[in-house]
Structure 1
Amino acid sequence: MPNNYKNSTLAGYALLTGLLPGSIHAAGFDVWLYSLDYNEASQQWHLGDAKAITDRDGYDNQPNFSPDSQNLLFTSDRVDAQNDIYQYRLDDGNLSQLTFTPKQSEYSPQAFKTASDGVQIKYVVEQGVPHQSVWQQNANSPRQRAINSLIPAGYFASDEQLGTLIWARYAYSLYFEPLGETADERHFVVANVGRSIHAIPNDNAFSYLHKQLDGDRVIKRFSPLDNSHQRLIALPASASEDYTWSQDNWLFNIDGGALVGWHADSKSDANWQLISPISPPSADYLSASRIAISPDSKHLAVVWQRK
């Protein structure tokens, strides 16, 4: 297994390199793509070369991979300071714009395979304060509402068999909308939650980041089937609140100068493990925030803050 993660060492590295989150105001965000490989024999991950998907002043953020791992979706403010959804093709680097809304912004894209083997994308639409909701669209079709609730949705996580977990903007609380229902006060889940929520692969459940009164941040599992909550693992004190799941149930997070991981199936291991050192790709960047892993576990997208 990879070496056990040493928080004190990495915190020192962060101080030396100026990578503490929020230490300096950033001028924008860029998405970088890393190759990733898992060696079954040694049971170790290898983080490979990095490639810039975006390189400009502005907002390029919130990456998410397509179900076939061939495309990367992200949010970008390239036209008239409006955020739209873009798609980057990994094989040839082709960049295409997927949403065109001059008076609205779209955020947090996610892609899902449809019953007809097509691809559907879902995203949050900002329609004026406080109106934000989750919408969906198929190729060459008008978008439609993906949830019935009028709760202002800042972030969301969808499971096509269960429904949608909604992170309520302004409230920092979660609500769950089962398929065919409407999320409201009866469907309240939990308060004091961070923005990183996910459908857990191979599980009828979701994960969320629960902020404790003592300052700890704990990733927990929520099962809407029995309304249960289960502690998974706490984040290191200086780590980003953004984490991601691989399809084989590894959790990944970035803490200062390290990519760290935890295998959810190893119930006896309560510690993050050091996967690889990871530093800003150039002197133009500060710290890392959002990350996403491709379904085939061969690519890692990392958002870096610009100076």
Structure 2
Amino acid sequence: MKTTCFTLLLWLTITAAHAQNGTEVYLLDLSEKAGNVTLSNPRNVSNKPGYDNQPFFHPTKPLLYYTAMMPEGQTDIWSYDLRKATRTPVTLTPDSEFSPTVLPDQTHLSCIVQRKANGDQDLVSYDLTDTEKTESLLESKKTGKIGYQAWLNADEAVVFVLGTPNTMHYLNRKTGRDTVIAGQIGRSLHRVPGQRAFSFVQQVGDAWLVRSYDPVRNQVSDIATSETTSEHYNAWLASGTLLESRGSELWAFSPKTKQWKAITLPADLPRKKLSRIAVHGNHLAVVVDE
């Protein structure tokens, strides 16, 4: 019975991008003053029917990476140039690439590669100057099928591993350490600004909590509650303000007041369900249902 349930879960995960409604990636201007977040000028930067998701900003270049479903049904990584307003494919392969993440060296992009041949989901690095050059960072046959990732430096990362329950692993490539830190986690993994720590969302009893993991102390701490009925997608502002999407709304958690506050959204942003969020400087990217 357990094998049957796991097989069903795996099949549902692999086919999720095909089965779910189409989504678009919107880019907005962002400012924060006295703890108040202001968003303006929304524009659709993916702008095609189907699945466009998982935005990630390059930390020093005016580029936004995202996952785009192609007519053949597989997904590739694309980039959007914020200055030129142009879209460019980064990967064009028979396999499916998900969860683009610029590595700390800023010259490589890691992503999840879902193998067409057997459904394995491996963590792979692409050289941004020549995407034909790849390196396998983590094989799912060793760890389990990987869904998402966040990096602290060139050696340390946390990854979301599919299972019953889904778990967060801490990886240290230098020492070879692979440790399960938490179970029953959500899909939003991030580095906490100004800290040597990761944030994640975890179900604890009937509640969902945004928590942090400090690998030096091997310590998990609570940051905030997460709306129980939301999909638990977060993003951090450099100031330490935490954002969360809740249905068609965005909320902000202040590290000073320890309170959540709804963000007023621009009138010209479609009133659809919002999900994944990415932030860099004065830009915010959010995934909006078609």
* Interval of TM-score (by shorter of Structure 1 and Structure 2): 0.7 to 0.9
Paired residue for 1:123? 111
Q: Structure 1, residues 51-95: CA drift from partner, whole Å, max 9, x if none? A: 011222211000010012511000001242110100000001111
Instruction: Label 1:190 to 1:280 Cα distance change in 2 as closer, same or farther (>3 A).
Output: farther
Residue 88 of structure 1: SS of its match in structure 2?
Answer: strand
Paired residue for 1:166? 159
CA contact (8 A) 2:109 2:125 kept: yes
| Structure 1 residue 49 displacement after superposition | 1.4
How many residues are treated as equivalent by the alignment? 266
- Counterpart CA distance in 1 for 2:176 and 2:71 is 34
Paired residue for 1:33? 27
Paired residue for 1:71? 63
Paired residue for 2:172? 178
| Structure 1 residue 289 displacement after superposition | 0.7
Paired residue for 1:237? 228
Kindly provide the amino acid, as one letter, of the partner of residue 158 in structure 2: L
Indicate yes or no: 2:274 matched with 1:304: no
CA contact (8 A) 1:162 1:204 kept: no
Indicate yes or no: 2:270 matched with 1:291: no
- Counterpart CA distance in 2 for 1:38 and 1:30 is 25
- Counterpart CA distance in 2 for 1:257 and 1:31 is 14
TM-score (norm 2): 0.84
Paired residue for 1:146? 137
Indicate yes or no: 2:216 matched with 1:222: no
Instruction: Label 1:279 to 1:176 Cα distance change in 2 as closer, same or farther (>3 A).
Output: farther
- Counterpart CA distance in 2 for 1:204 and 1:113 is 13
1:7-156 matches, within 5 Å, as: 27-39=21-33, 42-68=34-60, 70-102=62-94, 104-114=95-105, 119-128=107-116, 129=118, 131-138=120-127, 139-140=129-130, 142-147=133-138, 150-151=142-143, 152-156=145-149
Instruction: Label 1:86 to 1:120 Cα distance change in 2 as closer, same or farther (>3 A).
Output: same
Instruction: Label 1:105 to 1:130 Cα distance change in 2 as closer, same or farther (>3 A).
Output: closer
TM-score (norm 1): 0.80
Indicate yes or no: 2:237 matched with 1:251: no
CA contact (8 A) 1:26 1:305 kept: no
CA contact (8 A) 2:42 2:268 kept: no
Residue ranges of structure 2 left out of the alignment (5+ in a row):
1-18
| Structure 1 residue 281 displacement after superposition | 3.0
Structure scoring higher RCO (CA < 8 A, sep ≥ 6) equals 1
CA contact (8 A) 2:227 2:246 kept: yes
| 4+ residue runs over 6 A deviation | none
| Structure 1 residue 166 displacement after superposition | 1.3
Instruction: Label 1:247 to 1:52 Cα distance change in 2 as closer, same or farther (>3 A).
Output: same
CA contact (8 A) 1:77 1:84 kept: yes
Instruction: Label 1:85 to 1:161 Cα distance change in 2 as closer, same or farther (>3 A).
Output: closer
| Structure 1 residue 162 displacement after superposition | 5.1
CA contact (8 A) 2:35 2:254 kept: no
Instruction: Label 1:148 to 1:257 Cα distance change in 2 as closer, same or farther (>3 A).
Output: closer
Residue 277 of structure 1: SS of its match in structure 2?
Answer: coil
CA contact (8 A) 1:289 1:302 kept: yes
Q: Structure 1, residues 227-247: CA drift from partner, whole Å, max 9, x if none? A: 100000001234331111122
| Alpha-carbon RMSD | 2.2
Q: Structure 1, residues 118-156: CA drift from partner, whole Å, max 9, x if none? A: 521111111255521211122115110223672221111
